[in-house]
């Protein structure tokens, strides 16, 4: 913890002591100080890549014997590799070969002192990594490969996940930001309180276990924006959509039988196109202007503000039956020209 505070400190204090408004907080991140509102300051209180690298390297040099890190040249190369790993952007990959780039077995004196034939785990290592094959030099390279790979997977990555919440930001979707866990807790606690004040609640204990198998709950994650945090709910496609799809099919069937009940509601982009196309055609017939301009607007927190009680009353008038039977049909069409059969699945 002392190393973390030393290398990744996010200091906060009342700016009123410096003669500024009392509602503001000063955060020091990456050697910079900025006076701003509390929430905005916390959004900018992420640790820089250099701070994260410095902290990780300080921990490694404290807990790992120096000979295992090699000579000064290999230490510099290893730190550079850690730096490249931490500064990765979203969707970029980091292979094992990138972990050992510029690292050479002769720079690790302890490798030459290991007797591979008398080693207790030589048989196991030989099966998994090929240490029993090749020359002595190849065996040392393979062992170095295993050591550095383990260093990244079992020390570097768990260390980062323990002290930082790693995420992207809405304004920079492909950059990765490292928020100290304490800062992230403060940010999310305010957002969770705001969600609880609306139509959401956190499930805990027996209620969470009871509802989990029904797939009516979901995990929420938070995405930092320019000035606040956006909650994102991710319904994983496999199981939850399988259950919700049945409700969707029932509502679509009711829509087909009673289109007047749904007004301008659509279920897919085809419905959007049909409604928009007919509307544009009618407007063109009435107006002499050749150009038509469409304004696209986004309603802030539209779904969050929906009154669930009112929505359920509306659906009671739509879903009048207590039970609905679904039947899945498969149609197979044979094409003589291509000598293939096409299969179509549908639900009625």
Instruction: List the CATH number of the domain containing 145.
Output: 1.10.132.70
In a domain? residue 346: no
Q: Which domain holds residue 173?
A: 168-233
Judge if 32 and 157 occupy the same domain.
yes
pLDDT for 64 equals 92
In a domain? residue 266: yes
Q: Is pLDDT above 60 for 16?
A: no
Structural contact between residues 27 and 12, judged by C-beta atoms closer than 8 angstroms: yes
Which of 188, 209, 233 terminates a domain? The answer is 233
In a domain? residue 324: no
Judge if 130 and 229 occupy the same domain.
no
pLDDT for 209 equals 67
Q: Please, how many CA atoms are within 13 Å of residue 343, restricted to the half-sphere of its CB?
A: 4
Judge if 172 and 199 occupy the same domain.
yes
Judge if 200 and 306 occupy the same domain.
no
Q: Is the pTM of this model over 0.75?
A: no
Judge if 8 and 125 occupy the same domain.
yes
In a domain? residue 115: yes
At residue 256 the predicted structure's pLDDT band, cuts being 50, 70 and 90, is confident
Judge if 109 and 17 occupy the same domain.
yes
Instruction: Give residues with Cβ within 8 angstroms of 26, minimum separation 6.
Output: 11, 12, 13, 15, 18, 33, 34, 35, 41
At residue 150 the predicted structure's pLDDT band, cuts being 50, 70 and 90, is very high
In a domain? residue 344: no
At residue 88 the predicted structure's pLDDT band, cuts being 50, 70 and 90, is very high
Q: Is pLDDT above 80 for 82?
A: yes
In a domain? residue 332: no
User: CB atoms < 10 A from the CB of 269, how many?
Assistant: 8
Q: Is pLDDT above 80 for 153?
A: yes
Structural contact between residues 326 and 246, judged by C-beta atoms closer than 8 angstroms: yes
Judge if 17 and 155 occupy the same domain.
yes
pLDDT for 134 equals 58
In a domain? residue 334: no
- Number of structural domains found in the chain: 3
Look at residues 148, 153, 159 and name the one whose alpha carbon lies nearest to residue 97: 148
Q: Is pLDDT above 90 for 278?
A: no
Mean pLDDT of 188-200: 77
Judge if 189 and 63 occupy the same domain.
no
At residue 343 the predicted structure's pLDDT band, cuts being 50, 70 and 90, is low
């Amino acid at each position: 913890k002392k190393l973390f505070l030393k290398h990744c400190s996010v200091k906060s204090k009342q700016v009123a002591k410096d003669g500024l408004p009392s509602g503001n907080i000063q955060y020091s991140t990456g050697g910079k100080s900025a006076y701003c509102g509390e929430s905005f300051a916390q959004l900018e209180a992420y640790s820089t890549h250099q701070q994260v690298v410095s902290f990780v390297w300080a921990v490694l040099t404290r807990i790992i014997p120096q000979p295992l890190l090699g000579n000064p040249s290999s230490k510099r190369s290893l730190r550079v590799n850690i730096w490249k790993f931490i500064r990765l952007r979203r969707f970029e990959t980091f292979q094992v070969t990138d972990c050992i780039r510029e690292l050479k077995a002769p720079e690790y004196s302890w490798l030459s002192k290991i007797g591979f034939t008398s080693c207790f785990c030589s048989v196991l290592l030989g099966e998994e990594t090929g240490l029993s094959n090749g020359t002595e030099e190849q065996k040392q390279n393979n062992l170095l490969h295993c050591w550095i790979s383990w260093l990244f997977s079992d020390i570097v990555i768990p260390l980062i996940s323990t002290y930082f919440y790693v995420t992207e930001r809405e304004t920079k979707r492909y950059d990765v930001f490292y928020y100290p866990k304490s800062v992230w807790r403060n940010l999310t606690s305010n957002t969770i309180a705001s969600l609880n004040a609306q139509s959401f609640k956190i499930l805990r204990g027996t209620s969470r276990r009871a509802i989990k198998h029904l797939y009516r709950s979901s995990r929420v994650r938070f995405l930092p924006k320019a000035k606040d945090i956006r909650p994102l709910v991710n319904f994983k496609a496999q199981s939850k959509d399988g259950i919700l799809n049945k409700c969707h099919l029932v509502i679509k069937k009711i829509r087909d039988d009673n289109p007047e009940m749904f007004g301008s509601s659509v279920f897919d982009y085809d419905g959007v196109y049909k409604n928009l196309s007919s509307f544009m055609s009618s407007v063109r017939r009435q107006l002499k202007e050749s150009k038509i301009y469409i304004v696209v607007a986004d309603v802030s927190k539209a779904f969050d503000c929906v009154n669930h009680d009112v929505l359920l009353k509306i659906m009671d008038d739509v879903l009048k039956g207590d039970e609905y039977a679904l039947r899945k049909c498969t149609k197979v069409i044979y094409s003589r020209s291509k000598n293939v059969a096409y299969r179509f699945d549908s639900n009625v």
